[in-house]
Structure 1
């Protein structure tokens, strides 16, 4: 890409913002593997010399994966999400490249200035996290990319691309290309009643470290569909994925149907099969034509964020589904009984975990 084109793309990208997912899940296997690396990385302090910090983080490791992990853990621990910048639509503007300028140098100087600002303030939106990770990996001799792209944040984005508002990184380790998202790994910002972000809550989430592509593309997809990370993962597959609530991304694998946007006729039976590592004993559904929140008796509190409401005055008969279980594979059927059916939500043990869209045809 020509330098001027690249600079224009950077400027356009930075008119967007991005925010970490609210998740309490910790990717346990990675947590155990890198426990010592993470612990050591979190003791390192930035004193104005980034090359020295990178050296302190990585020099003791021969394996590039551990070098990258130390950088990843340090950024996630030391950079907070700048929720005020997000709420106020502020962004760090890329400079204009004038005729006669060395545009590559303009870009390099801008990125260095931007990441220096992130380090001084200790906060950023997603692009600052991703540029800082790339810069530190460059100093460590690691091959990385800055990857702008789409993300999904809600069930109504099934069948859609989501917003082009985020950035993460690609990295080559042992000859393989991986994605990782240090912004979403660092924590999250709850939202108030008006949808504004509240103060950042640091909560390290290992799920977004070298995430398998089948999991990563549940809610991320690069702007450039030729990115090496998605060589075998199409735009259509990403767009039409069922929506898995973020806390259950590692736990749920959808086997059937093969898409999150199901085409059916009234009277058809849709066969579902999922792998669920945590397991469940209770399965209910809610649709746009049969809204049926899960009920807990003897309380008047409304728990919308958990996917159910409570109250003695509520009826207790529910739209439940029978299911079969073989190991951690669960299968169940849903009969399409209304031409206006558009959405099916599945609640396991009272919690919304999985959402599909339906297109009813004649």
Structure 2
């Protein structure tokens, strides 16, 4: 099939499936919260509403996630032009803690009332609301992996924040900042796109995209090299449990004529699987084989392969590798 025709089909499929996909990811809790007012007089009144409508800790934690994701937008301008760090003087530890609390309260109220925040505001508001409904919640700071250039980075940096919330004696991972939407490079703006995959995320997927500053998570050591050198995965990978079995590294050393074997869990031959070449043209994989609940196929390394390979399943990006 000609490349132009494949590209046209790709765009048509993308527009057809977008509404269907949205309807599939809304839970009953989300449907109730979607009918809430966009504004409340106070965080306490919002918390009271959530406590009255939901009985379980899990549903209350999800309701907080949903309301914030539905109503608070990522402030990309503030991200590009961060305000100056606000310092203060203190004469005692008690005064220091009081002033820190005041700064945090100001951050929470600013996010709640302006409906805009960066990750610090999202996480502070989530923690505040969680504590108002008697949930133990903490803020974790660390690195994030979001674009192709992050594959094979040499060092981590503290550029993001997320939450952990204790539900039924188990700590759950929450990143409501990523749940509310994403930045569309082609449009040059934030896109509102509620996504629940970052509520109670499977740690295996979560830590492929997050690395805490301490390098640990609740006592479990997390490998920095696994994070830095791992492939870049996407939201649909998490949503559909598309585990990348091979290659297990994000950096692939190959020469012209080599074939890379890729194996992805929970994909069948009926799925449309392709990758993009150097010209961003879709190339359908040839002769895929079903193998132990996975799909296995090969990609030929030639002059048409660029510096990165991104694999798509049914119009959705799933995983990217860096080719060296």
TM-score by length of structure 1 reads 0.70
| SS of residue paired to 1:34 | helix
Distance across 2 between alignment mates of 1:50 and 1:282:
46
Q: Do residues 171 (structure 1) and 154 (structure 2) align?
A: no
- 1:138-157 CA deviation, whole Å, 9 max, x = no partner? 22211111111211221232
Q: 1:55 aligns with which of 39, 48, 51?
A: 48
| SS of residue paired to 2:243 | strand
C-alpha deviation, 1:218, in angstroms: 2.7
- 1:70-112 CA deviation, whole Å, 9 max, x = no partner? 222222222122223223x133734334343522211111101
| SS of residue paired to 2:184 | coil
Query: How many pairs were matched up?
Result: 300
Farther-moved stretch of structure 1 (125-134 vs 61-70): 61-70
Q: Do residues 207 (structure 1) and 197 (structure 2) align?
A: yes
Q: 1:98 aligns with which of 86, 90, 98?
A: 90
Q: Do residues 225 (structure 1) and 215 (structure 2) align?
A: yes
Distance across 2 between alignment mates of 1:224 and 1:37:
37
- 1:127-173 CA deviation, whole Å, 9 max, x = no partner? 10110111111222111111112112212321226653221111111
| SS of residue paired to 2:78 | helix
Alpha-carbon spacing, 1:163–1:33, altered in 2? closer, same or farther (3 Å): farther
Give the RMSD, CA atoms, in angstroms. Answer: 3.3
C-alpha deviation, 1:342, in angstroms: 5.7
Distance across 2 between alignment mates of 1:209 and 1:114:
22
TM-score by length of structure 2 reads 0.78
Any stretches of 5+ residues in structure 1 without a counterpart? 1-23, 295-307, 309-317
Any stretches of 5+ residues in structure 2 without a counterpart? 1-17
1:280 matched residue in structure 2: 271
Q: 1:73 aligns with which of 66, 73, 80?
A: 66
1:324 matched residue in structure 2: 289
2:100 matched residue in structure 1: 107
| SS of residue paired to 2:66 | helix
Alpha-carbon spacing, 1:81–1:332, altered in 2? closer, same or farther (3 Å): same
Greater helix share, structure number:
2
Distance across 2 between alignment mates of 1:73 and 1:168:
15
2:129 matched residue in structure 1: 136
2:79 matched residue in structure 1: 86
1:253 matched residue in structure 2: 243
Contact 2:151 2:232 in 1 (8 A): yes
Contact 1:44 1:53 in 2 (8 A): no
Alpha-carbon spacing, 1:97–1:225, altered in 2? closer, same or farther (3 Å): farther
Distance across 1 between alignment mates of 2:298 and 2:79:
42
C-alpha deviation, 1:242, in angstroms: 1.2
| SS of residue paired to 2:239 | coil
Q: 2:29 aligns with which of 31, 34, 39?
A: 34
Q: Do residues 243 (structure 1) and 243 (structure 2) align?
A: no
Farther-moved stretch of structure 1 (275-284 vs 203-212): 275-284
